[in-house]
Structure 1
Amino acid sequence: MTNSAASFLVTEVKAPPDPAALYITLTGGRPGSFLLESTLHHPRLGRYSFLGWDPFLILKTKGFQAIIEEKGKGKVPVLDNPWNAIRRLLLRYRQPLGQPQPLPFMGGAVGYLAYDLGRYVERLPQWAKDDLPFPETYLAFHGTVVGIDHQEGKVYVVTHGFPASGSAAYQLARTRLEEVKERLSRVRPLPTLNTRKNNERDDVSSLFTRETYCRAVERAKDYIAAGDIFEVNLSQRFETRLSFHPWELYLRLRKYNPAPFSAYLPLEEGVIVSSSPERFLRVSQGQVETRPIKGTRPRGRTPDEDQALRKELWESEKDRAELVMIIDLERNDLGRVCEVGSVKVPELFVLEEYASVFHLVSTITGVLRKDKDMVDLWRATFPGGSITGAPKVRAMEIIEELEPVRRSAYTGSLGYVGFDGEADWNILIRTFLLTGERAYFQTGGAVTADSDPLREYQETLDKAHGLLKALGL
């Protein structure tokens, strides 16, 4: 399919619909590439996967310092609020695509927004240590994308002419398409997955002990009793040495913890490896959707135990109450930027099962106002309510007090914004942050008035199970 006026091409190609095999063959896993993979196929959440490489522009921010790296032009520092820097670049490359397209993502910006970008929406204290090298914003603008439709078993190549214009843009899109076709001829199946251990479980350390985590839960409950908050999401960070390549870790994670919003994102500063079950924001033709998760139980060791745990979660008044509080928060957040009366809750309680856990999930939808854009939507909703608490700002202040280090990308959001404005973003949970030979991962849960500290601590371990299994532990 050709659209010379818009300077982009989309073509169905003959290639194996295996995103991981396509990714590693076409990109080599080098910085600047990306893989957004639905490893748990679901018609609503996991129908498509996308990969790309060789972005024509990269934006990184840390604090009020932005770095814009345009291909062939070097790095340019800009002093600005990060949300302003993001908006300017999204507007610069905004391009309506016209007729219906075969993929929801037809090229655009791919990357993540760290949890700490919330500091540039609300004024927050700065007590926790910022000890990881990752930027707070990473957005790479891709003119070439390979998309896989798992439902149809089809593979598409999309190429744009950015940053060129006019006839030069069309020629660039054509050249990129031919280059991808040539590379596709070299795709080979993935090798057998290595199941060796990373190291011993004793090598995994946390910034909390069981006792100190329980004390933090009690402190959070004190704030609840005082009327500061209704609930807060408290997490602990684990750290271990990584003895094999990050790509191998991703392959293991996708096997042991498949999820609809998996990702492999290599940066110069390190690698993000994620297998998230949670959608933060989806935007399609102005329709907005968010799907917060609240409520978790581990999978059972037998079918009977599995069913008992499923029933326990479904009937848990505590977990339902937690989810209702977050639904109210998310409805309020969406109401800031959506049409009056358009915010709905089409799914109040849904129980979803994953390899290691059961989750309780809701769906909230709305219609984005005509005078609002993706940055307005982010600023109204970021970070997600399910991983902060309610009220959100006070919960984030308490998180800053009780957690010893900043979260970095953890509980931020990773995904894409298309040139046409279509978007899909996860919540960065079930995620590794890899830098040097160190692997960091974080798990948490909601603390409410009736929380039992030991059970809250155990929930963080339950959520870590799939991540530890990927490490061979």
Structure 2
Amino acid sequence: MLSNVKTTYFESSLSSYEIYRAVEKGDDYILLDSSKKDSKYSRFSIMGANPFLSVKYENGIVFEKDYRLGEKEWREVEVDSIFNHLNRLLKKHKVKNGTDLPFVGGGLGYFGYELSKELENIPESAESIVDVPDCYFVFYDNAVLHDIRSNMVHITALGILQDENESMLELENRIWEYSPGRSLPVWNETEKPVFSSPFSRSEYMEAVESMRKYIEDGHIYIANMTHTFTSFYDRSPEDTYERLRHINSAPFSAYMPLDGFHILSSSPERFLEIRNKKVQTRPIKGTIPRGRNPEEDEENRIKLKNSEKDKSELLMIVDLERNDLSRVCVPGTVKVTELFELEEYATVFHLVSTVEGMLKDDCSSVDCIEAAFPGGSITGAPKIRAMEIIEELEKTSRNIYTGSIGYLGFDGNADFNIIIRTVLLKDERAYIGVGGGITWESDPEMEYVETLDKARALFKALDADYVEDRCKSDQSLYKAHGGRCSCGNQ
């Protein structure tokens, strides 16, 4: 057990992503990126350096790669559950955080949505279209934090792999010596990726109608209906993320170059923050596209703020989140501190609420995540029945989409997003999940259009087109882009 952590700091004119490029050395160097500077929830970008342990959970088995032992391959570890294993790792390396920094050491990683089916015993029926671990965390000897408001860079050291002062000096020198010299990547328009969904427009609308019938029959009040756009994709993940953070900046973004795949996230939504035992969740429900001019922008802003349907959706999810937090928080402390707040992003406006509470003394950050996972805003209410219906109606499994990316601190702190507005890259293919909340008042066609509104910023960042009915729906577009489509046919 470690009792404290060493830190140093200095001022830098580099952006968070430039600092990350100076620090990273390839796979397992993760960036949690507060890329939307004008958000009150953007403050620190956090990156791990000098990993000493990687942990992943796939096919019901926990694997580890211990860099202290010089391991280059994964080895199986016998444990009772991934959550208990993470709890043990956090306790083993527990530190005291005597700073104002949110993170001074620990693990960066994600919990994929598919993990929730195991937690809630949901039978699997949807087709799996990509294979990545259900959970993946990397634990670091050093952390680098960029305060985007003050331009201060903080470096922390645990002394697990290397002397604390030596490791901090090495990282500081790499940042000072880094020369950006890069412009935003520009790609050849004749080689655009073409995305398509397993759902045509009419098929998605039929699935929404089926969900509405479940609501009419009293099974659920609300559920989240999603689909995944896929395409051939062979462009640089680093260049793609640089464009994504520029085009669709968000407070809970992330760049994750992991073993065999990449995750590029520009999520606007916080799932859970635990800091000094205070818990916060910020569910999003309610979306409208940005206007084509300032006048239309303001008109859409007012329309969303006055939408009884969207406010009703958000209120149901707020109630669900209050119940989830009450399982791990001190009785009487769970409160709604913000209701129906409007936030704006590159292509959409959102309605957001905030629920807070105080974590019980005998509950850890991992316990809190396990109790509330997955977020109610991307499942529905009641949660378990909504998840069963989602599994029935969605054609493909969500995989990491609608899971959570963030950090688990050795000091007990944690902060996780909801994995939306996110691109998964693996084996020269890209996967983009989009969806929305369905209530009895939902209009199926409008729900489909809303998913396209949410995907638009990602398609723009990837300089991509999409087809609604797979390659069959538009042979001219299919042929114009080299005969590459998500169905895999040439």
* 3-state SS, counterpart of residue 163 of structure 2: helix
Q: Is the 8 A contact 2:272 2:279 kept in 1?
A: yes
* One-letter amino acid of the counterpart of residue 76, structure 1: R
Larger displacement relative to structure 2 (70-79 or 423-432): 70-79
Q: Is the 8 A contact 1:38 1:262 kept in 2?
A: yes
* 3-state SS, counterpart of residue 114 of structure 2: helix
Alignment of 1:81 onto 2:81:
yes
CA deviation profile, 1:43-87 (whole Å, cap 9, x unmatched): 641011111233100110013200011114333312432222222
Q: Is the 8 A contact 1:7 1:173 kept in 2?
A: no
Could you tell me which residue of structure 1 aligns to residue 202 of structure 2? 211
* One-letter amino acid of the counterpart of residue 337, structure 2: P
* 3-state SS, counterpart of residue 309 of structure 1: helix
What is the distance in 2 between the residues matched to 1:102 and 1:375?
A: 21
State the aligned residue count.
460
Going from structure 1 to structure 2, the CA distance change for 1:370 and 1:207 (only over 3 Å counts) comes to same
Q: Taking structure 2 as the reference length, what is the TM-score of the superposition?
A: 0.91
- Select the residue among 228, 240, 251 that pairs with 1:237: 228
Alignment of 1:466 onto 2:465:
no
* One-letter amino acid of the counterpart of residue 93, structure 1: H
Alignment of 1:16 onto 2:4:
no
1:42 Cα deviation (Å)?
Answer: 4.3
Counterpart mapping for 1:177-188 below 5 A: 177-188=168-179
What is the distance in 1 between the residues matched to 2:188 and 2:90?
A: 43
Larger displacement relative to structure 2 (414-423 or 333-342): 414-423
* One-letter amino acid of the counterpart of residue 236, structure 1: H
* 3-state SS, counterpart of residue 263 of structure 1: strand
Question: Where do 4+ consecutive residues of structure 1 move more than 4 Å?
Answer: 197-202
Could you tell me which residue of structure 2 aligns to residue 166 of structure 1? none
Alignment of 1:120 onto 2:111:
no
What is the distance in 2 between the residues matched to 1:264 and 1:202?
A: 21
1:398 Cα deviation (Å)?
Answer: 0.7
Could you tell me which residue of structure 1 aligns to residue 274 of structure 2? 283
CA deviation profile, 1:311-364 (whole Å, cap 9, x unmatched): 111111000000000000000000000000000001011011111100000000
What is the distance in 2 between the residues matched to 1:329 and 1:455?
A: 25
Could you tell me which residue of structure 1 aligns to residue 287 of structure 2? 296
What is the distance in 2 between the residues matched to 1:276 and 1:198?
A: 27
Alignment of 1:149 onto 2:140:
no
Could you tell me which residue of structure 1 aligns to residue 350 of structure 2? 359
Q: Taking structure 1 as the reference length, what is the TM-score of the superposition?
A: 0.94
Could you tell me which residue of structure 2 aligns to residue 167 of structure 1? none
Alignment of 1:378 onto 2:377:
no
Counterpart mapping for 1:90-109 below 5 A: 90-97=90-97, 99=98, 101-109=99-107
What is the distance in 1 between the residues matched to 2:118 and 2:15?
A: 39
* One-letter amino acid of the counterpart of residue 23, structure 1: Y
What is the distance in 1 between the residues matched to 2:453 and 2:39?
A: 27
Q: Is the 8 A contact 1:43 1:151 kept in 2?
A: no
Tell me the percent identity. 44
Q: Is the 8 A contact 1:199 1:472 kept in 2?
A: no
* 3-state SS, counterpart of residue 54 of structure 1: strand
Larger displacement relative to structure 2 (6-15 or 368-377): 6-15
CA deviation profile, 1:116-167 (whole Å, cap 9, x unmatched): 111232110110122312111101001111111112121111111236xxxx
Could you tell me which residue of structure 1 aligns to residue 258 of structure 2? 267
Going from structure 1 to structure 2, the CA distance change for 1:181 and 1:451 (only over 3 Å counts) comes to same
What is the distance in 1 between the residues matched to 2:416 and 2:188?
A: 32
Could you tell me which residue of structure 1 aligns to residue 127 of structure 2? 129
Going from structure 1 to structure 2, the CA distance change for 1:322 and 1:200 (only over 3 Å counts) comes to farther
Could you tell me which residue of structure 2 aligns to residue 168 of structure 1? none
Alignment of 1:66 onto 2:62:
yes
Q: Is the 8 A contact 1:63 1:82 kept in 2?
A: no
* One-letter amino acid of the counterpart of residue 112, structure 1: Y
Counterpart mapping for 1:383-402 below 5 A: 383-402=374-393
* 3-state SS, counterpart of residue 103 of structure 1: coil
What is the distance in 1 between the residues matched to 2:12 and 2:142?
A: 16
What is the distance in 1 between the residues matched to 2:214 and 2:188?
A: 42
Q: Is the 8 A contact 1:199 1:243 kept in 2?
A: no
Q: Is the 8 A contact 1:26 1:187 kept in 2?
A: no
Could you tell me which residue of structure 1 aligns to residue 245 of structure 2? 254
What is the distance in 2 between the residues matched to 1:23 and 1:284?
A: 24
1:172 Cα deviation (Å)?
Answer: 2.2
- Select the residue among 171, 180, 183 that pairs with 1:189: 180
- Select the residue among 102, 110, 114 that pairs with 2:108: 110
Going from structure 1 to structure 2, the CA distance change for 1:93 and 1:103 (only over 3 Å counts) comes to same
Q: Is the 8 A contact 2:348 2:453 kept in 1?
A: yes
What is the distance in 2 between the residues matched to 1:356 and 1:405?
A: 26
Going from structure 1 to structure 2, the CA distance change for 1:198 and 1:106 (only over 3 Å counts) comes to farther
* 3-state SS, counterpart of residue 51 of structure 2: coil
1:202 Cα deviation (Å)?
Answer: 7.7
What is the distance in 2 between the residues matched to 1:190 and 1:38?
A: 22
State the superposition RMSD in angstroms.
1.7
What is the distance in 1 between the residues matched to 2:189 and 2:326?
A: 46
CA deviation profile, 1:186-211 (whole Å, cap 9, x unmatched): 21125111232566678211111001
* One-letter amino acid of the counterpart of residue 348, structure 2: V
What is the distance in 2 between the residues matched to 1:181 and 1:373?
A: 33
Q: Is the 8 A contact 2:266 2:420 kept in 1?
A: yes
* One-letter amino acid of the counterpart of residue 128, structure 1: A
* 3-state SS, counterpart of residue 121 of structure 1: helix
Going from structure 1 to structure 2, the CA distance change for 1:394 and 1:274 (only over 3 Å counts) comes to same
* One-letter amino acid of the counterpart of residue 208, structure 1: F
1:14 Cα deviation (Å)?
Answer: 4.2
* 3-state SS, counterpart of residue 204 of structure 1: strand
What is the distance in 2 between the residues matched to 1:136 and 1:184?
A: 33
What is the distance in 2 between the residues matched to 1:190 and 1:389?
A: 46
Q: Is the 8 A contact 2:157 2:164 kept in 1?
A: yes
CA deviation profile, 1:291-313 (whole Å, cap 9, x unmatched): 00000000000111111111111
What is the distance in 2 between the residues matched to 1:450 and 1:7?
A: 54
CA deviation profile, 1:24-57 (whole Å, cap 9, x unmatched): 12214x1110111111124641011111233100
Could you tell me which residue of structure 2 aligns to residue 226 of structure 1? 217
